[in-house]
């Protein structure tokens, strides 16, 4: 088992005929993802490598039974694309697009509340259940089927963690990059809960970074409710306050959101926190007794 996506997932790609959309759709298909449709308004009736292209997500859901959407449309239109997919009734939306205005996401999040659709991103590498479904831009080959769940705010740092796990022979159930923006779809907390209910996930790796309080909220939940072992690394221990470290969300503002605060909260919740990004894999091996 796994969370969010698996071999049954039927993916529609919004923005499939764009440069990024076409490139990554091919990579996903090569990995074995079941891409059943694409959407580009005005290009309905065409196809991309034999994948039918529709004008609307509704058509993709009606005609091809799509139940998950992968979004590559440019930032001015990405909020609209997320809501289109949600209203078409897909279960999972993964928005890769980087650069959505924050106020747009505030409105989108509010509209999604109560709709039952799970959004991952924006500005994220996506979701992968190794061996079954890759809905994102991560390099598929570094992953390995297994029982460790990975949740991260970053892209390449997720690959680093996954690379270390695979190198040590530790496979992953599902890996999710949740994105580095201030307002995002699924949070650490949402996904920890899903991994908690997933019988095939033995342990969870949580990779955080400076800024915001998502790690502290996760720590609170872990402390009260979590049974499975959690290993964590927080990036930005050496970042100076007031400087935005690439991600719009990664900034220490008003003295809040420091790595030290996050590490303390997680350790108090019983999480194994490593201060070295080179020891994420070995820390997981430690808690699993391997």
- So which residues are the catalytic ones? 247
Using the rule CB under 8 A, is 210 a contact of other proteins? Answer: yes
User: Are 68 and 62 within 8 A, CB to CB?
Assistant: no
Using the rule CB under 8 A, is 52 a contact of other proteins? Answer: no
Among 18, 41, 75, 89, binds other proteins (CB under 8 A): 75
Among 38, 121, 180, 229, binds other proteins (CB under 8 A): 180
Q: Considering beta carbons, is residue 121 or 249 the nearer one to other proteins?
A: 249
Q: Considering beta carbons, is residue 65 or 99 the nearer one to other proteins?
A: 99
Among 84, 198, 202, 209, binds other proteins (CB under 8 A): 209
Distance CA 187, CA 142 (A): 24
Using the rule CB under 8 A, is 248 a contact of other proteins? Answer: yes
Using CA atoms of 106, 110, 116, 120 in order, give the dihedral in degrees to the nearest 10. 0
Q: Considering beta carbons, is residue 62 or 102 the nearer one to other proteins?
A: 102
Task: Find the binding residues for other proteins in span 105-144 (CB under 8 A).
Answer: 105-107, 109-111, 125, 137-139, 142
Extended beta strands in the chain, E state: 11-14, 35-39, 47-48, 51-54, 68-71, 92-95, 118-120, 126-129, 133-136, 145-152, 172-177, 203-209, 230-235, 272-273
Distance CA 120, CA 127 (A): 8
Q: Considering beta carbons, is residue 230 or 248 the nearer one to other proteins?
A: 248
Using the rule CB under 8 A, is 21 a contact of other proteins? Answer: no
Distance CA 202, CA 283 (A): 14
Distance CA 76, CA 170 (A): 40
Q: What is the DSSP letter of 278?
A: G
Contacts to other proteins by CB under 8 A: 75-76, 98-107, 109-111, 125, 137-139, 142, 152-160, 163, 180, 182-183, 207, 209-210, 212-214, 217, 233, 235-240, 242-250, 254-255, 275-279
């Amino acid at each position: 088992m796994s969370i969010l996506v698996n071999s049954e997932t039927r993916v529609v790609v919004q923005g499939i005929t764009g440069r990024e959309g076409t490139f990554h759709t091919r990579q996903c298909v090569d990995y074995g993802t079941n891409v059943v449709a694409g959407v580009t308004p005005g290009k309905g009736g065409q196809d991309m490598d034999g994948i039918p292209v529709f004008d609307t997500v509704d058509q993709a859901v009606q005609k091809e039974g799509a139940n998950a959407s992968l979004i590559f449309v440019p930032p001015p239109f990405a909020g609209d694309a997320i809501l289109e997919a949600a209203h078409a009734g897909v279960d999972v939306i993964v928005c890769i697009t980087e650069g959505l205005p924050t106020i747009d996401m505030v409105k989108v999040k509010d509209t999604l509340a109560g709709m039952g659709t799970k959004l991952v991103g924006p500005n994220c590498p996506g979701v992968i259940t190794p061996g079954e479904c890759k809905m994102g831009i991560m390099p598929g080959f570094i992953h390995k089927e297994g029982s460790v769940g990975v949740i991260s705010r970053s892209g390449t740092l997720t690959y680093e963690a996954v690379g270390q796990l695979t190198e040590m022979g530790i496979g992953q159930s599902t890996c999710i990059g949740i994105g580095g923006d201030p307002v995002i779809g699924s949070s650490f907390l949402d996904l920890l809960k899903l991994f908690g209910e997933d019988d095939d996930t033995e342990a969870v790796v949580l990779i955080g970074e400076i800024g915001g309080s998502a790690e502290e909220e996760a720590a609170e939940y872990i402390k009260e409710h979590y049974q499975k072992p959690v290993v964590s690394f927080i990036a930005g221990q050496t970042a100076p306050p007031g400087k935005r470290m690439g991600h719009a969300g990664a900034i220490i503002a008003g003295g809040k959101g420091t790595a030290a605060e996050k590490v303390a909260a997680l350790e108090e919740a019983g999480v194994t926190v490593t201060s070295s990004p080179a020891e994420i894999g070995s820390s997981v091996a430690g808690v699993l007794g391997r």
